Amino acid sequence: MKKLAVIAIGGNSLIRDKHHLKVEDQYHEITKTVKHIVEIIKAGYQVVITHGNGPQVGFVLRRSEIAYEHEGLHFIPLQSCVANTQGAIGYQIQQALTNELKKSKIPKQALTIVTQVKVSKKDPGFKRPTKPIGQFYDDKKAKTIKKDHPDWIMVSDAGRGFRRVVASPKPLEIIEMDMIQNLLDNKCCVIAAGGGGIPVVENKDGSLEGVGAVIDKDFASALLAKNLNADLLIISTGVDYVCLNFGKDNERALANITKKEAKTYLKQGHFKVGSMRPKMEAILWFLEHGGQKAIISKPEHLRKSIAGICGTHIHG
């Protein structure tokens, strides 16, 4: 029986830099990433791919704002922005991965599931928004935006500038879980829970209703990996290794650490909110709920990482 890896691709990793923001630029980055994912498939893994959408949701929201300001068109609800980006990014990954599978003569197909994820109406995240979305702004631009949008909450994000933050409730249930498993059973490469999934709440009559929030894609990926009994959770990001004292003279890369060590470093404040902290918290949740191993690494080092010669490996 093949091993299963859940691979979480960061939304920021799909955008090379501020000069390459177009949809075509994003697809180009995706074509590079899927080559490495195919290498994991060649190594004997089934894969489920998740992805972030922070910058992309910001773009959709901004287009909506401009359309409202200049043409009086209605705003797009945040949950619809998540659905929009989930379908659009999923389509690009699906197409690029299917093309790469054909080139490698691997008889598999990639399929995207527009995924809903249930959250609680009483989740404290709705009272204390923390999830960064959209692009980064310098201090001057952030103050201008705050003046134009007094209801927005803007925070400094890991020293890279200011970003808007919104509610980020914890994922409780993946609604389309059975269909994801069915596709895996039929040897498909599945793209699911994009952007953390579309957040929905359950009403008293059992009906589902979308809510304006963004679920952290790493937590949703951890939940997905746990539900699928995945052998490996991989979080692909923009660094070779997780580091202690990141950006300081005494910076130290971590290659192999235990769950206990990861908890200690987290408590010591080595991992910043909006950057590495949610990734480590999601991995610890996965390991504490039956997971055995997780890896954090750059997309281009995925094959080396599963071979144990690159990336940060966290063991249960």
pLDDT of 158: 66
Of 35, 108, 217, 259, which one is the catalytic site residue?
217
What is the rounded radius of gyration, in angstroms, for the C-alpha atoms of the chain?
A: 19
Collapsing DSSP states into helix, strand and coil, what is residue 49? strand
Residue 37, pLDDT above cutoff 70: yes
Question: What confidence score (pLDDT) does residue 170 get?
Answer: 95
Alpha carbon of residue 126 to chain centroid: 20
Whole-number pLDDT of residue 5: 97
Provide CB contacts within 8 A for 131, sequence distance 6+: 54, 125, 165, 166, 167, 168, 213, 214, 216
- 105, 76 in Cβ contact below 8 A? no
Select which of 35, 108, 131, 226 is catalytic: 131
**11 labelled catalytic:** yes
Residue ranges of E strands in 19-96: 45-51
pTM, 2 dp:
0.88
146-188 pLDDT tens trace: 887 787 788 887 678 888 888 899 999 999 999 999 999 999 9
The domain that contains 212 carries what CATH number?
3.40.1160.10
Catalytic residue among 108, 226, 259, 279: 279
Q: With pLDDT > 90 as the criterion, what percentage of the chain qualifies?
A: 62
Instruction: Tell me what the pLDDT averaged over the chain comes to.
Output: 91
What's the average model confidence in pLDDT over 59-63? 86
Identify the domain containing residue 56 by its residue range: 3-315
Catalytic-residue membership of 186: no
Q: What is the pLDDT of residues 83-100, one digit of tens each?
A: 999 999 999 999 999 999
pLDDT (mean) for 22-35: 91
131 is catalytic: yes
Question: Domains in the chain: how many in total?
Answer: 1
**Which residue in the list 11, 58, 196, 291 is annotated as catalytic?**
11
